[in-house]
């Protein structure tokens, strides 16, 4: 009896619809776990790079030297470093065009940083929508498999002259497995989605704060040197 009601045996004896539902749910669970681990490592790397760059930024390093280093390591750096490099790049381009208006220089740098910030945020939110979809859809997919399995079980029982618990149990059990696997796929995805959404919001707020602080530094430099404003230090 215990062997007949094992999960493997139940799935082997289940209808093809229930089997397809279980395979789909297992696949969703595997992909979501892969996305969870990848997102954990990504966020750790982003926070490490941002902290390192922010420490160097506030150490008093010359902004032009910091920009040269950031431009060379753009691919291997963090989001905050790339945002800084985008703002400085646009600032220098406007200066090369002989634009001396402080407001135009500052607005150009801010727009460039805002565009870079949005690109970095899109990268951080990769696979987040998938986790949300798994968390919301997986229980209903499992429920569909359960309902179909119960319908299939009762249809088979209609041909029997005598129905006992032993004849009902396997069909009901195999149907309930689909719901259990659906919850197994959904719960980690929901927890991870909420945690990652909070962590990404923290990173986004930190980068927005940096952009405002860097804009203030540029504004001070432009105010101090209206004729030849270059962000030479802070």
Residue 98 lies in a domain: yes
> Would residue 76 count as lying in a domain?
yes
DSSP string, the chain: -TTTTSHHHHHHHS-HHHHHHHHHHHHHHHHHHHHHHHHHHHHHHHHHHHHHHHHHHTTT--HHHHHHHHHHTTTTS-HHHHHHHHHHHHHHHHHHTT---HHHHHHHHHHHHHHHHHHHHHHHTTTHHHHHHHHHHHHHHHHHHHHHHHHHHHHHHTT-SS--HHHHHHHHHHHHHHHHHHHHHHHHHHHHHHHHHHHHHHHHHHHHHHHHHHHHHHHHHHHH-SSS------
* Lowest-confidence region among 154-158, 169-173, 222-226: 222-226
The predicted-structure confidence for 125-152, as pLDDT tens digits, reads as follows: 998 999 999 999 999 999 998 888 888 7
- Give me the number of domains the chain comprises: 1
For residue 229, is it within any domain?
Answer: no
Residue 1 lies in a domain: no
**pLDDT above 90 (res 80):** yes
Q: Which domain holds residue 33?
A: 7-224
pLDDT above 90 covers a percentage of the chain that reads 49
Give 28-79 pLDDT, tens digit per residue.
Answer: 999 999 999 999 999 999 999 999 999 999 988 888 888 888 888 777 889 9
Whether 234 is in a domain gets the answer no
Indicate whether 24 belongs to any domain: yes
What is the model's pLDDT at position 231?
42
- Asked whether the predicted pLDDT for residue 1 surpasses 50, the reply is no
| 38 within domain boundaries | yes
């Amino acid at each position: 009896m215990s062997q007949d009601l094992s999960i493997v045996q139940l799935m082997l004896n289940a209808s093809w619809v229930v089997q397809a539902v279980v395979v789909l749910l297992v696949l969703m669970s595997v992909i979501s776990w892969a996305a969870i681990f990848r997102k954990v490592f990504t966020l750790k790397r982003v926070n490490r790079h941002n902290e390192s760059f922010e420490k160097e930024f506030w150490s008093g390093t010359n902004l032009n030297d910091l920009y040269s280093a950031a431009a060379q390591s753009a691919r291997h750096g963090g989001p905050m470093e790339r945002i800084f490099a985008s703002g400085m790049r646009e600032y220098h381009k406007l200066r090369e065009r002989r634009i001396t208006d402080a407001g135009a220089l500052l607005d150009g740098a801010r727009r460039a940083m805002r565009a870079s910030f949005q690109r970095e945020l899109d990268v951080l939110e990769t696979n987040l929508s998938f986790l949300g979809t798994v968390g919301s859809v997986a229980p209903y997919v499992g429920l569909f498999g359960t309902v179909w399995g119960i319908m299939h079980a009762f249809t088979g029982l209609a041909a029997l002259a005598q129905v006992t618990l032993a004849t009902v149990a396997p069909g009901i059990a195999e149907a309930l497995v689909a719901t259990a696997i659906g919850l197994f796929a959904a719960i980690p995805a929901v927890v991870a989605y909420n945690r990652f959404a909070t962590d990404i919001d923290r990173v986004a707020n930190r980068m927005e704060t940096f952009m405002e602080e860097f804009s203030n530094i540029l504004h001070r430099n432009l105010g101090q040197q209206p004729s030849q404003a270059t962000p030479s230090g802070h």
